[in-house]
């Protein structure tokens, strides 16, 4: 393929050199005269393992060329990769100047191009920007129509500096949002040698996934560092703790506990988080991430409260009250907290939990619920059907089969708010039932 790579920074340089190494004809474009000249002379403008040798080899065999001329590059290319910077604007938001300008210039040059070209945005951009700004800018400047006269694709970049070449050939995943079938085929062709399992998705999802990944990586590093600081101050062997922690692939390094849904609760997670951060405080170790977890959890409960408040419904039925299904443990259940917020604001509450019978609750569990919701006896119902009949909004806490069966027969005019976790949600057709999930 004939590929134009716009922006010869960390991302563009690696892509340009490796694509040439794969046998494509690559024309790299940058506004920096210095970068263009360095590559022209077979020298990498950035420090990146193996990149110097690849650039030298590909420049010598004529597959990698550079220019500062946008028109020349657009005229040459069947595919254009946009890899310009999207830095911080100094206030936390993205500075879109580079990408706005390059897309404007590409659009101008497209006016004179007869052949179909696929424009691929590899720069990191927030949801909405591609569709609302770049896309129309390309159309306006070129006088052509996306999807008809030129193709438009979002293809976020996941390479890591320092192992960029390795990551190019072994990407953790390849994510593509393609606006038309021709461009989808072009992307399959482009990645054939590297990754045959392209994940095709929507534009907004492709934009956001890069941020989600980076946020998670940042949280992982910070979590590790906070635990490390705590271990050090408690004279606990950090290496031993982390070795054991990482060996657990069932609960720790796994998709478990990594699904959007409702707040956590129960008799262990909140208590142990508090104990840990309390101990850290005694030792003067600041653990802001761990300390903020309970605050964030509470915010999630309040978010559910606001969704209910906004719905305008006053009679709220809970299906499930214990902190998770298949237990009668109500201690620090987030559903109990939510019910309490609603009761304080004079909502009428009805509750059914197939595992909770007041007369059978004992010990600290009974003590907790009687202290937290003294009128609990008046709120508990004998059946799912009773809760559904007496409520105009049903809050699904625990997703169990008998609740679902009853909800399928729910009379019209009632609303469902699903607080169960994402991988247990679904099944309700939004066209047939007034249904919404807390995170979807
Ligand atoms: N650096 C990484 O490891 C990495 C990884 C994944 C994604 N990304 C994303 O990729 C994008 C590029 O990042 P980078 O680190 O390579 O940026 P960079 O700043 O190193 O390079 C950007 C290049 O674009 C050039 N440029 C700017 N305007 C131009 C124009 N109109 N025409 C041609 N060239 C132009 C600049 O001169 C510069 O050489 C960013 O959105 C970034 O968030 C970066």
Q: Is residue 285 part of a domain?
A: no
Q: Is 327 exposed, middle or buried (0-12, 13-18, 19+ CB in 10 A)?
A: middle
Report pLDDT for 359. Answer: 84
What's the CA-to-centroid distance between 175 and ligand 1, angstroms?
19
Q: Which of 34, 98, 125, 167 to mutate to test the pocket of ligand 1 (most atoms within 8 A of CB)?
A: 98
Report pLDDT for 260. Answer: 95
* Residues 303 and 410 both lie in one domain: yes
- Helices 288-311 and 269-282, axial angle in degrees (round to 10): 140
Report pLDDT for 417. Answer: 96
* Residues 195 and 215 both lie in one domain: no
Report pLDDT for 196. Answer: 94
Report pLDDT for 161. Answer: 95
Distance between CA 336 and CA 343 in Å, rounded?
10
Q: Is residue 362 part of a domain?
A: yes
* Residues 131 and 111 both lie in one domain: yes
Distance between CA 301 and CA 110 in Å, rounded?
51
Q: Is 381 designated active site? A: no
> What domain range is 38 assigned to?
2-201
Q: Does 9 contact ligand 1 (Cβ within 6 A)?
A: yes
* Residues 237 and 164 both lie in one domain: no
Distance between CA 107 and CA 77 in Å, rounded?
13
pTM score, whole prediction: 0.94
- Phi first, then psi, for residue 197 (nearest 5°) are -105, 60
Distance between CA 272 and CA 342 in Å, rounded?
27
CA distances from 337 to 10, 304, 380 (A): 49, 11, 15
Q: Is residue 174 part of a domain?
A: yes
* Residues 360 and 415 both lie in one domain: yes
* Residues 220 and 136 both lie in one domain: no
Q: Does 214 contact ligand 1 (Cβ within 6 A)?
A: no
Q: Is 114 helix (H, G, I), strand (E, B) or coil?
A: coil
Q: Which of 4, 8, 11 to mutate to test the pocket of ligand 1 (most atoms within 8 A of CB)?
A: 11
Q: Is residue 188 part of a domain?
A: yes
Q: Which helix (H) or strand (E) holds 216?
A: helix 203-233
Q: Which of 4, 7, 13 to mutate to test the pocket of ligand 1 (most atoms within 8 A of CB)?
A: 7
Structural tokens at position 316: 């709220």
* Residues 196 and 214 both lie in one domain: no
HEC letters along 244-298: HHHHCCCCCCCCCCCCCCCCCCCCCHHHHHHHHHHHHHHCCCCCHHHHHHHHHHH
From edge to edge, which strands make up the β-sheet containing 415-418? 348-352, 315-319, 393-396, 415-418, 434-437
What's the CA-to-centroid distance between 358 and ligand 1, angstroms?
62
Report pLDDT for 405. Answer: 85
What's the CA-to-centroid distance between 322 and ligand 1, angstroms?
50
Which ligand 1 atom is nearest residue 11's CA?
A: 16
Q: Is residue 408 part of a domain?
A: yes
Each residue's pLDDT, cut to its tens digit, for the chain (440 residues) gives: 999 999 999 999 999 999 999 999 999 999 999 999 999 999 999 999 999 999 999 999 999 999 999 999 999 999 999 999 999 999 999 999 999 999 999 999 999 999 999 999 999 999 999 988 898 899 999 999 999 999 999 999 999 999 999 999 999 999 999 999 999 999 999 999 999 999 999 999 999 999 999 999 999 999 999 999 999 999 999 999 999 999 999 999 999 999 999 999 998 999 999 999 999 999 999 999 999 999 999 999 999 999 999 999 999 999 999 998 889 999 999 999 999 999 999 999 999 999 998 888 889 889 999 999 999 999 999 999 999 999 999 999 988 888 888 888 888 899 999 998 887 777 777 777 899 999 99
CATH of the domain at 46: 3.40.50.720
Report pLDDT for 131. Answer: 84
Q: Does 78 contact ligand 1 (Cβ within 6 A)?
A: no
β-strands 64-67, 150-154 pairing: unpaired
Q: Among the options 13, 83, 103, 268, which is catalytic?
A: 268
Distance between CA 77 and CA 1 in Å, rounded?
8
Report pLDDT for 398. Answer: 85
Q: Does 48 contact ligand 1 (Cβ within 6 A)?
A: no
What's the CA-to-centroid distance between 179 and ligand 1, angstroms?
23
Of 201, 221, 245, the residue that ends a domain is 201
Among residues 103, 66, 67, 109, which one has the least CA distance to residue 84? 103
β-partners of residue 88 are 94
Is the CB of residue 151 less than 8 Å from the CB of residue 135?
no
Q: Is residue 282 part of a domain?
A: no
Q: Does 66 contact ligand 1 (Cβ within 6 A)?
A: no
Which ligand 1 atom is nearest residue 35's CA?
A: 39
């Amino acid at each position: 393929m004939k590929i134009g790579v716009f922006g010869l920074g960390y991302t563009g340089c690696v892509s340009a050199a490796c694509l040439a190494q794969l046998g494509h004809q690559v024309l790299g474009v940058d506004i920096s005269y210095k970068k263009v000249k360095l590559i022209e002379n077979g020298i990498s403008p950035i420090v990146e393992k193996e990149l110097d040798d690849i650039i030298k080899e590909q420049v010598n065999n004529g597959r990698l060329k550079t220019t500062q001329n946008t028109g020349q590059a657009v005229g040459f290319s069947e595919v254009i990769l946009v890899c310009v910077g999207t830095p911080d604007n100094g206030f936390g938001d993205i500075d879109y100047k580079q990408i706005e300008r390059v897309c404007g210039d590409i659009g101008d040059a497209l006016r004179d191009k007869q052949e179909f070209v696929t424009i691929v945005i590899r720069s990191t951009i927030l949801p909405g920007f591609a569709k609302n700004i770049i896309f129309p800018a390309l159309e306006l400047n070129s006088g052509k129509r996306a999807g008809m006269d030129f193709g438009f694709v979002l293809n976020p970049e996941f390479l890591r500096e320092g192992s960029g070449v390795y990551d190019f050939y072994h990407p953790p995943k390849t994510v593509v949002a393609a606006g038309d079938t021709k461009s989808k085929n072009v992307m399959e062709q482009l990645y054939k040698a590297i990754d045959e399992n392209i994940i095709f998705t929507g534009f907004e999802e492709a934009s956001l996934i890069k941020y989600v990944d980076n946020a998670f990586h940042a949280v992982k590093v910070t979590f590790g560092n906070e635990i490390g600081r705590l271990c050090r101050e408690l004279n606990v062997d950090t290496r031993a703790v982390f070795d054991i922690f990482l060996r657990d692939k069932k609960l720790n390094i796994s998709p478990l506990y990594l699904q959007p849904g409702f707040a956590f609760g129960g008799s262990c997670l909140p208590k142990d988080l508090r104990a840990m951060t309390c101990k850290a405080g005694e030792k003067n170790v600041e653990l802001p991430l761990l300390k903020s977890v309970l605050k964030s959890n509470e915010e999630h409960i309040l978010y559910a409260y606001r969704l209910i408040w906004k719905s305008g419904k006053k009679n709220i039925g809970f299906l499930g009250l214990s902190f998770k299904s298949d237990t009668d443990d109500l201690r620090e259940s987030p559903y109990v907290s939510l019910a309490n917020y609603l009761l304080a604001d004079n909502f009428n509450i009805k509750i059914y939990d197939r595992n909770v019978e007041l007369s059978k609750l004992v010990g600290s569990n009974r003590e907790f619920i009687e202290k937290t919701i003294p009128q609990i006896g008046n709120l508990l119902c004998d059946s799912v059907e009773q809760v559904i009949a007496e409520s105009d909004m049903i809050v699904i806490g625990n997703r169990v089969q008998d609740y679902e069966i009853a909800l399928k027969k729910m009379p019209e005019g009632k609303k469902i708010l699903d607080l169960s976790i994402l991988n247990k949600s679904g099944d309700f057709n939004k066209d047939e039932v007034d249904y919404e999930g807390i995170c979807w």
